[in-house]
Structure 1
Amino acid sequence: MSARPEHRDTGDPAPVQREVLPGVPTGVELEQVIGKQVRALRLASGLSVGDMAAKIGISKAMLSKIENAQTSCSLSTLARLAAGLDVPVTSLFRGADTEREAVYTPGGHGAVIVGRGTRVGHHYELLGALRGQHKRLEPVLVTLTEASEVFPLFQHAGTELLYMLEGVMIYGHGDSEYTLRPGDSLLLDGEGAHGPNELVRLPIRFLAITAYPDNHAEG
C-alpha cells in the first residue's frame, strides 16, 4: 500500500466560490475581465510576470493562468493582486459591470437650444446630456456672430466651465470681468450671475459645460 502523498502548499489559490461576488458576472467572462485588468495594470507598473508573482506571493505559473483567464481567483488572491498593483479590488472588475451609456454627437448635429437667451446671431447647440443619478453634465457649444448691446445673464445651481475656441469676449461673473481668448478657460460658480459683457472680436465660439448637483431639478 503506497503512502498517502504529503500535502504541500504551493501558494496557488483555491477556486473562488462564485456566490460571494454578488452583482459581478460569473464564468469565463469574469475570468477574462480580471485577467485583462491584471495584465494591463501589471504592465503599467513595469513589472514582469515573475516580478509580480514574487511580489504578491503566488507562483509565476498561476499568475500567467490568471492573466490568460485559465483559472479562477480566490478572494484572498484578488486582494493580493490589488495590493500588489496598488489599486482597489474593484479595479480588477472594471468592464464587468453593465453597459455604460454614452452620447455621440457628430459636428453640427447637436440639438439647438431655444429660449436660453437666444436671439439673432446667438446660437446654442446642446452636444448631449446624460440623465440619472450622478449624470448631470450639460455641454453646450455657443456661437455668437452678431454684436449686441444687451446680453442675457445666467444663474443656476452647479459649476460651469467655459473654454474659448474662437474670437475674443469680455465675460462677467458677479462683480468681476474676464477677457477670454482662444485657449482660455473660466471655471465659475453657477450661482453667481454670469454672461458676456462685451463681444470684442466676432465670430465667437466657446464651449460651456455645466455640472449640476444631484438634487438639481430637471428643467
Structure 2
Amino acid sequence: MNKVIGSRIKDLRINKKMTLKELSEKTDLSTGFLSQLERGLTSVATDSLLNIAEALEVDLSYFLLGTIKKRENFIKRSYERDIYKLDDSNYINYVLSNDIEGKEILPRIIDILPFSRGEIQEYNHEGEEFVYVLEGIITLFVNGSEYSLYPGDTAHFDGGKNHCYINNTNKMGRILLVNTRRDISSINNGRV
C-alpha cells in the first residue's frame, strides 16, 4: 500500500508541476521524507497524508481509492473488511464499503489507539462528518473546542471546521465515522 500511495503523491505532484521542496514547504514535511514516501520506502501518518492531500488539492480518499480490493457485491461481510493502518499513526481504519469510488459517503470504523494525544493537529475537508462512538471515551476537537464523547454519543458537523479525534485513556476507542463529499464526481479528475 505504501508504494501505491507514494506513486499517487508523486504523480499528482508532477502533474501540478510542483517540486518536492514546494510540497515540503506546504506540508511542513521534509523533502527527504517526501522522497522516501514517493518511492514507497516509508509509511505516513494519517494527519500527514491529510496535509499532503490538502497541498495537492485532493481528498484523503484519493490516495486510498484502488488500494482497497473492489468487490462486485454491494454487501460487505464483517470478515471481508479491508483494513488500512497508516504506520506511525494512532488510527486503524476499516473501510465498510465494497466500492467507495463514485459514492457520496465514505463509511469507516476507526480504532483510536490508547494515549493518542500527542500534538493536537486539527484538519478539515469538504463535506459533512458524522461520528458515533462505539467504544471508549473519545475527545473531539472542533475549531479549538474540546468535547468528551462516550459510547452512544454522536457528533455531526461541517467537515470544513478544523477537527480531530484523540484517545486519552488506556483502552482502545472505536468510532463509526461517515464523511460526505460535496463534489464526488471530481475524483476521476484527480480533485475532490
> TM-score, with normalisation over the residues of structure 1?
0.46
Helix, strand or coil at the partner of 2:168: strand
Cα pair distance change 1:122/1:209, threshold 3 Å: same
Q: How many Å separate the matches in 2 of 1:151 and 1:168? A: 17
Helix, strand or coil at the partner of 1:200: coil
> In the alignment, which residue of structure 2 is the partner of 1:109?
80
Structure 1 residue 111: Cα displacement: 2.1
> In the alignment, which residue of structure 2 is the partner of 1:167?
136
> In the alignment, which residue of structure 2 is the partner of 1:181?
150
Structure 1 residue 126: Cα displacement: 1.0
> In the alignment, which residue of structure 2 is the partner of 1:145?
113
Helix, strand or coil at the partner of 1:112: strand
Amino acid at match of 2:175: F
Q: Deviations over 1:11-43 (max 9, x none)?
A: xxxxxxxxxxxxxxxxxxxxxxxxxxxxxxxxx
Q: Verify the 8 A CA contact 2:104 2:184 in the aligned structure 1.
A: no
Q: How many Å separate the matches in 2 of 1:195 and 1:216? A: 26
2:92 is aligned, of 99, 103, 123, to: 123
Q: How many Å separate the matches in 2 of 1:212 and 1:137? A: 7
Structure 1 residue 154: Cα displacement: 3.0
Q: Verify the 8 A CA contact 2:110 2:175 in the aligned structure 1.
A: yes
Q: Deviations over 1:116-140 (max 9, x none)?
A: xx535520111114433xx311001
Q: Verify the 8 A CA contact 2:123 2:164 in the aligned structure 1.
A: yes
Q: Moved runs in structure 1, 4+ residues, more than 4 A?
A: none
Cα pair distance change 1:216/1:185, threshold 3 Å: farther
Q: How many Å separate the matches in 1 of 2:120 and 2:147? A: 15
Structure 1 residue 153: Cα displacement: 3.1
Structure 1 residue 107: Cα displacement: 1.7
Structure 1 residue 105: Cα displacement: 2.0
Q: Verify the 8 A CA contact 1:170 1:197 in the aligned structure 2.
A: yes
Q: Verify the 8 A CA contact 1:164 1:180 in the aligned structure 2.
A: yes
Q: Deviations over 1:42-70 (max 9, x none)?
A: xxxxxxxxxxxxxxxxxxxxxxxxxxxxx
Cα pair distance change 1:215/1:191, threshold 3 Å: same
Cα pair distance change 1:103/1:171, threshold 3 Å: same
Structure 1 residue 176: Cα displacement: 2.0
Unaligned runs of 5+ residues in structure 1 are: 1-100
Structure 1 residue 182: Cα displacement: 0.5
> In the alignment, which residue of structure 2 is the partner of 1:91?
none
Q: How many Å separate the matches in 1 of 2:89 and 2:155? A: 25
> TM-score, with normalisation over the residues of structure 2?
0.51
Q: Verify the 8 A CA contact 2:129 2:157 in the aligned structure 1.
A: yes
Q: Verify the 8 A CA contact 1:166 1:205 in the aligned structure 2.
A: yes
